[in-house]
Amino acid sequence: MKRHAVIVSIKVKHNNLDITRLLKIARSLVWKVRKELLNESNGDELAPTRKRALSAFRSLTQNT
């Protein structure tokens, strides 16, 4: 039910902070649902939603 409430709140143009305070849920859930809705509206074109692994980040930032 929380997911549905988040979707309805997003559709009526509430921002993430208002949604989290109203529904008393984590911001990460709101962010994920918003990202999934964005992917659906792009015609199943997947946007990157996964965070980069820490090891990949370290390999990019190491000074050799």
Smallest CA-to-CA distance from 35 within 1, 6, 57 is with: 6
Task: Report which of residues 57 and 33 the model is more confident about.
Answer: 33
Q: Give the model's pLDDT for residue 33.
A: 93
Query: Into how many domains does the chain fold?
Result: 1
Asked whether residue 15 carries a pLDDT value surpassing 90, the answer given is yes
Q: Give CB contacts under 8 A, 24+ apart, made by 15-21.
A: none
Q: Which amino acid is at 45?
A: E
pLDDT value at residue 51: 55
Residue 44, domain extent: 2-61
What predicted TM-score, i.e. pTM, was given to this entire model? 0.60
Token pair 């918003």 in the structure block, residue:
34
**What's the whole-number mean pLDDT along residues 18-46?**
85
Q: Does 57 or 6 have the greater pLDDT score?
A: 6
| Tokens found for residue 45 | 């074109």
Contact 48, 32 (CB under 8 A): no
